[in-house]
Amino acid sequence: MDTQKKSPRIFSFEFFPPRNDEGQGKLHETIQQLGQLRPKFFSVTFGAGGSTRAGTYETVKQIHALGHQAAPHISCIGTSRADVLALLDSYRQLGIRHLVALRGDLPRDAPKTGDFDFANELVAFIRAETGNEFTIEVAAYPEFHPEASSAQDDIRHFADKIKAGANSAITQYFFDVDAYWRFLDDCESLGVDVPIVPGVMPITNYKQLARFSDACGAEIPRWIRRRLEGFGDDLDSLRAFGLDVTTELCDRLLSGGVPGLHFYTLNRAGPTCTIWERLGL
């Protein structure tokens, strides 16, 4: 844990590429609102929510044009080395020097294609081809990736991404702070000393949260799940409780010396701004 206290805190916000003009207009407002909080960067997911590579590129361009640092996510599954090089080149031309390098989710029932199997190979490839031109973030899973053969293997595979040249990591969201502290200790014992920034999911919608959590393996503690279920259609109470829980989580993390926070904003400024104000950041 001590290694995490060395670096200055990094705050960042994540978006997904909007699917239509209306979404793009709303995102413009969100960027302007969250931009006032002066995050280190805004990251933009790749391929998530049915969006395309072009969607990620356009959103990155939009953020960059508004004067903020953008970090596109790049996933490597099903991708060729030539495709990755072309993508890096397009970002280089835009002035982007920050990436989130991922494997991406495996396509269902489809045969393996592409030149990469795991994210550490993508990180090594980007480093070999571009040296230190890009700052590279990778994903970390304090409650372990759903496909991991064991917790120990997953931590070793995470360390491989850092050894391949990643500068820092962003975690999957979690609600169990102890899982994160223990993960940090295990990483430290493997010689990992880069910032591992907790990913934070503001709770505002129970069904959506349950769906995401089932898919990505982030556990919602029973007491939180039961309370959220109990609110039913009373969305105001649900949001009030959700924001209390998320703020308290961030507060405990910051008090414990985390190297920053990465908010999964779902393209909305309100919940993140509220948590930010309550934390007095």
Q: Is 104 among the residues that bind ligand FAD (CB under 6 A)?
A: yes
Q: Is 48 among the residues that bind ligand FAD (CB under 6 A)?
A: yes
Q: Is 98 among the residues that bind ligand FAD (CB under 6 A)?
A: no
Q: Is 75 among the residues that bind ligand FAD (CB under 6 A)?
A: yes
14 catalytic? Reply is yes
Please name the helix (run of DSSP H) or strand (run of DSSP E) that holds residue 99, with its range, or none. Answer: strand 98-102
Nearest Cα neighbor of 75 from 63, 85, 84 is 84
Q: In whole angstroms, how close is the CB of 116 to ligand FAD at the nearest point?
A: 9
Q: Is 154 among the residues that bind ligand FAD (CB under 6 A)?
A: yes
d(CA 203, CA 213) in angstroms, rounded, equals 12
Q: One of 14, 121, 137, 143 is an active-site residue; which one? A: 14
**Residue ranges in 162-201 that form contacts with ligand FAD under rule CB under 6 A:** 170, 172, 199
One-letter identity of residue 274: T
Q: In whole angstroms, how close is the CB of 226 to ligand FAD at the nearest point?
A: 26
d(CA 145, CA 217) in angstroms, rounded, equals 7
The one among 41, 42, 46, 206 contacting ligand FAD by CB under 6 A: 46
The values of phi and psi at residue 201, to 5°, are -105, 105
Strand runs labelled E in 125-180? 135-140, 168-173
- Between 238 and 264, name the residue whose CB sits nearer to ligand FAD: 264
Q: In whole angstroms, how close is the CB of 47 to ligand FAD at the nearest point?
A: 5
**From 22-30, 79-87, 142-150, 252-260, span contacting ligand FAD (CB under 6 A):** 142-150
Provide DSSP, 199-241.
EE-----HHHHHHHHHHHTPPPPHHHHHHHHHTTT-HHHHHHH
Q: Is 212 among the residues that bind ligand FAD (CB under 6 A)?
A: no
d(CA 80, CA 26) in angstroms, rounded, equals 34
**From 40-48, 87-95, 128-136, 176-184, span contacting ligand FAD (CB under 6 A):** 40-48
**From 63-71, 107-115, 141-149, 223-231, span contacting ligand FAD (CB under 6 A):** 141-149
Contact between 86 and 129 (Cβ < 8 Å): no
With H, G, I as helix, E, B as strand and everything else as coil, classify residue 116. Answer: coil
Q: What is the dihedral of CA 168, 173, 176, 180, to 10 degrees?
A: -10
Q: Is 241 among the residues that bind ligand FAD (CB under 6 A)?
A: no
Q: Which residues bind ligand FAD (CB under 6 A)?
A: 45-48, 73, 75, 100, 102-105, 118-120, 139, 145, 147-148, 153-154, 157, 161, 170, 172, 199
Q: Which residues are designated catalytic? A: 14
